[in-house]
Structure 1
């Protein structure tokens, strides 16, 4: 049976391709959700989620009372200083709260995962890091973040504490958003640093250095928060 949870992701990928190929041009207004969902053959809920994802990644921009538009490439080019989209979960948690929770939760998860990852999982983490690097070079923002999520998810899967795993999955939507949120203002130097941080985390986990893995993960998330203008 088709996994409905993958539909927004697939729609977002199609829309990103339309933007990159010029089928959707800079400054072009996106049709109404009703019209566009019918054209694409997907539900309005799936389209809405895809549009929100692309807005967070800086590929679309919503203007109050006017609609949603394809972002100006000058503001989304690699290394340019773009703007972050509004935080989606502001009615429940601040982005600061989520980053702070990530530091506490993922740092401890990394500590408890040290020495528990198989060679296959470590190889998958390295491939995810390589994919991040390659996709950033091609400005495939969706695939870059998907690889980032996969990297962190592998570590969670090896954690020895089932409750911490469950807590992570409970807040996964908010965690995912913090991994997308800084993308529009991320310059190449920060992405290179982030990739290097991933490799240091992998090395500490492989060497069963629990305390080091915790510190590396906490530093990685803190640096991402700084990229988003938080935790200076």
Structure 2
């Protein structure tokens, strides 16, 4: 049985497959939330979470008063990012700025504590990111990215920093989805190279370098989103 945490992601993956297979065509209006929630056997809350993920990734777009439609690349002159879903509490700029400080420190404190298996997992997650981007499996691409970062957090020596990360994880990880619609292949290639430099620094137990590499990686992601934190 799927846990509550993973249920929306499972539904999002199924809808992404419907889009990629042509079952849902570009420009087509998707079924109502009632119909879709019944189809997948999930609550409307879980379905809404899945749809928010797909909209952030640029696969669907909600138009006020009209409904939600599959994105049609042929009708999009310049792709844009979805509205920032946490704007009532924090700006995306603030979240990126926090990520730089928090994940930079966490990465330095994880240095020397990551096992060989964890480092190998990070290598595999980075390769999965690369492969899934090539196949345009955007959900799996981001999931691999999240797994990479989560592995570092799990090895951090400071329990309070780990707890702080978990408390704001939804906002932090949204910044990993947000730039996807405007990420070009060269930026993704650079992002993957940045992951590998972080791994190399951690394999060498060079905490200060790992921190700098992580901070640079997050700043570059922010720049992709048009920000300069």
2:209 corresponds to 1:185:
no
Partner Cα distance (1:126, 1:86) in 2: 32
SS of alignment partner, residue 110 of structure 1: helix
| Number of residue-to-residue matches in the alignment | 229
Question: Which residue is 1:112 aligned to?
Answer: 109
Alignment of 1:72-221 (within 5 A): 72-74=72-74, 81-221=78-218
Partner Cα distance (1:71, 1:194) in 2: 25
Q: State the shift of 1:75 in Å.
A: 6.6
Structure 2 residue runs of 5 or longer lacking an equivalent are none
Please tell me whether the aligned partners of residues 75 and 82 of structure 1 are also in contact (alpha carbons under 8 angstroms).
no
Please tell me whether the aligned partners of residues 8 and 46 of structure 1 are also in contact (alpha carbons under 8 angstroms).
yes
**What TM-score do you get using the length of structure 2 for normalisation?**
0.97
SS of alignment partner, residue 4 of structure 1: coil
**What TM-score do you get using the length of structure 1 for normalisation?**
0.96
Q: State the shift of 1:184 in Å.
A: 0.2
Partner Cα distance (1:156, 1:2) in 2: 24
Question: Which residue is 1:26 aligned to?
Answer: 26
Q: State the shift of 1:49 in Å.
A: 0.4
2:10 corresponds to 1:15:
no
Deviations 1:34-62 (A, max 9, x none): 12211222111111000000000000001
Question: Which residue is 2:66 aligned to?
Answer: 66
Partner Cα distance (2:35, 2:73) in 1: 25
Question: Which residue is 1:45 aligned to?
Answer: 45
Structure 1 residue runs of 5 or longer lacking an equivalent are none
SS of alignment partner, residue 5 of structure 2: helix
Partner Cα distance (1:35, 1:186) in 2: 32
RMSD: 1.3
